Structure 1
Amino acid sequence: MKFSPQILNENLADQAQAIYQQFFLIEADPNWPFGHLSDLINVKYGKDHKKLADGVYPVYGSGGIMRYVERPLYEKESVLIPRKGTLNNVMYVNQPFWSVDTMFYTEMKQTNVAKFVYHFVKSKDLASMNAGSAVPSMTTAILNALELRIPSAEALLQFENSVAPMYEMMKKNEDQSRKLTELRDALLPKLMSGEIDVSDLDL
């Protein structure tokens, strides 16, 4: 049975989340010090993208990729957290990108921490921490104040080495899915207009 890239990625993400829980919840070292999310990251505001020309860098909103633009806002590993809208739609990104003004992006304060931060934030019900009234909203103060045990550098490295192959596979699946979509979008109008004739194909 052949599964779609989306289903494969959901399965890989579930496996990575299970490894996170094993490392940092079930087998957490009681000697790890308590701290706050602000000890690990800087939360940054995204920016308006409307004046940017089209390009190759993805623009992320709370629903995912919105378009591709000429230059990135940030080029390093990051965790994207909705500032308004669907607050629980947290994303991990490891390529140059642009983040819209309703989406926070994050700078890591130490190595091998981005994937840990992603799984930690994703495991939280951010929607229940809503600071808005009409529109669900998140604030830097709420995110910075989230409490957690700060894992050792050794534990973070071990976790990184365990889940990095899964993330690489997810990235390949996403790239394949995007290329297939682009190919479909390019061929479909030509098929509909008769520019490409498939009547003689033996299917």
Structure 2
Amino acid sequence: MAGEIKMTRTGGRPASSGVIQGKYALSVGLPDKLAPDGWSWTLLSDVARLETGHTPSRKHPEYWGGDVPWVGIKDATENHGRTINSTSQYTNTLGISNSSARILPTNTVCLSRTASVGYVVVMGRPMATSQDFVNWVCSKSISHHFLKYVLLAERESFFRFASGTTHQTIYFPEVKAFHVCLPPKDEQEIIAHILGTLDDKIELNRRTNETLEAMAQALFKSWFVDFDPVRAKAENRGPKLPANLDELFPDNLDGDGIPCGWHSGNLLDLCELKRGYDLPTSQRTPGAFPIVSSSGVSGFHHEAMAPGPGVVTGRYGTIGEVFFVKGDYWPLNTALYVKNFKENSVRYVYYALKQVDFQKFSDKAAVPGINRNHLHEAAMIIPPREVQVAFERLMSSTWNRQDANDAESSTLAALRDTLLPKLISGELRVKDAEKIVGRVA
């Protein structure tokens, strides 16, 4: 097996001689935990080539922009557990040749080791990574799918493997000493297939919902930004809406370029935003109500501070994202939430906020922030209530389908999270797991 692994280029100190045991199938050093029958504890670097990454110099803009995907922390946090085919930043041959970064092959497994520890992605095409990652190029002895699931299952263990006060980091002496508990290759593939069947369906639901959301946004833009139904009537051309919808739209634009009878104002005319509420992590108690931050749902709590359905956007840190919340929720202090919809449709307010250029209202500080009073000044078009309601009715079946997909994905994710540690530790054997998955997938 070792003969299949080419020399790594991580450099630095040798492997740690200590032992820090993970929860299921990973350990720093060789643990005294017995492997299941037919499995064996194996030094990971014996079956997968260990690689790190690097960041081409930002002082040379010519190193950036090109055809080489470059995996950064943002890509990992946004795609945890997935195979990625694109990244938020790209480098090029010049950037690679003038740095310690290397282009790694398809199916390389990447683990974030610093900044945000424990995020896992798999390369869907050749890519390079930043130095925030350790990467494994798998040999024929280990399935990259199986390794991915081991790393996903051991996320809590990475904080035991890491050290540091301000920022937790998994250092290379520990990484070089990683041991993985491996079943035979065919069993690895079966385990990965069982878990992958669930993940594939979850991913299909996610992509379907992205398509449905794009359809809703396209219709909103057509009606309320481009005013297509009004322009079509004014120019006496098709395609025309059904009569019950067509009659809701005027047949001309006024002198300001908006549909006659519609109101042009600002965001405060549409709704009122309010800063969210403090909720330290130490005070959170598990419950049914989502905690919504500037970057989306960040947990659940037993209390809610805002009634649903609601709309939330970022106030501090992450700005520009807008979230629709179906039920009651707790908006965090890093977010702004809609306190008063002023008799406007909740969905209309949600999509209208998504049209706002939040960067115009950012304070441009190192950590971006927004003053809600400034955001209230954003220009806004407010159509009659009946047009907003018609939009909601027309799209209701689309949103219901999204809700059904989300509910199914939650059920499948719960099953996957139950099976994952049991399968990769050998506690549950594949024949029993296949029966369970076969009943729901």
Matches within 5 A, 1:123-162: 123-162=355-394
Corresponding letter in the other structure for 1:69: H
| Secondary structure, aligned partner of 1:55 | coil
* 1:126 Cα deviation after fit: 0.8
Q: What is the one-letter code of the residue matched to 2:221?
A: Q
Asked if 1:75 corresponds to 2:275, the answer is no
In the alignment, is the contact (CA less than 8 A) between 1:108 and 1:114 conserved in 2? Answer: no
CA distance in 1, matches of 2:340, 2:210: 25
Secondary structure of 2:274's aligned partner? strand
Matches of residues 11-26 of structure 1 in structure 2 within 5 Å? Answer: 11-26=211-226
TM value normalised by structure 2: 0.43
User: Which of 147, 151, 170 is the aligned partner of 2:402?
Assistant: 170
- The secondary structure found in structure 1 opposite 2:369 is coil
Q: Please name the residue that 2:413 is paired with.
A: 181
Give the aligned partner of residue 278 of structure 2: 48
Does 2:259 align with 1:29? yes
**Which consecutive unaligned segments of at least 5 residues does structure 1 have?**
none
Percent sequence identity is: 29
> After superposition, what is the alpha-carbon deviation per residue over 1:39-78, rounded to whole angstroms, capped at 9, x for unaligned?
2212121112221211121111222221111111212221
Q: What is the aligned partner in structure 2 of residue 97 from structure 1?
A: 329
In structure 1, C-alpha distance between the alignment counterparts of 2:342 and 2:361, rounded to whole Å: 26
Corresponding residue SS for 1:72: coil
Contact 1:60 1:100 in 2 (8 A): yes
> In the alignment, is residue 116 of structure 1 matched against residue 316 of structure 2?
no
Q: Name the stretch that deviates more: 28-37 or 192-201.
A: 192-201
Question: Which runs of at least 4 in structure 1 moved beyond 4 Å after TM superposition?
Answer: 199-203
SS in 2 for 1:138: coil
2:289 maps to a residue whose letter is Y
Quote the Cα distance in structure 2 between the aligned partners of 1:146 and 1:30: 21
**Number of equivalenced pairs:** 202
How far apart in 2 are the matches of 1:194 and 1:52? 34
CA RMSD of aligned residues (A): 2.1
**C-alpha deviation, 1:101, in angstroms:** 0.9
Moved more, 119-128 or 133-142: 119-128
Q: 1:6 aligns with which of 201, 206, 209?
A: 206
- More displaced 10-residue stretch of structure 1: 126-135 or 7-16: 126-135
**SS in structure 2 of the partner of residue 54 of structure 1:** coil
Please, which moves more after superposition, 190-199 or 133-142? 190-199
Residue 225 of structure 2 aligns with an amino acid whose one-letter code is L
Specify which structure has the bigger relative contact order, considering alpha-carbon pairs within 8 angstroms and separated by 6 or more residues: 1
Tell me, yes or no, if the aligned pair for 2:361 and 2:371 is still in contact at 8 Å. no
Looking at CA atoms only, which structure, 1 or 2, has the larger radius of gyration? 2
Deviation at 1:7, TM superposition (A): 0.7
Contact in 1 for aligned 2:312/2:324 (Cα 8 Å): yes
Would the aligned equivalents of 1:40 and 1:113 in 2 still touch at CA under 8 Å? no
Deviates more, 1:91-100 or 1:173-182: 173-182
Equivalent residue of 2:400, what SS?
A: helix
Query: C-alpha displacement at 1:8, in angstroms?
Result: 0.8
Shift of 1:111: 4.0
Tell me which moved more, 26-35 or 192-201. Answer: 192-201
C-alpha spacing 1:139/1:52, structure 2 compared with 1 (3 Å): same
Conserved 8 A contact 1:112-1:160? no
TM (normalized to structure 1)?
A: 0.89
Structure 2 alignment gaps of length 5 or more: 1-200, 228-257
Distance 1:21 1:30 in 2: 18
In structure 2, give the amino acid aligned to 1:81.
Answer: T
Q: Residues 199 and 32 (structure 1 numbering): CA distance in 2 closer, same or farther, change over 3 Å?
A: closer
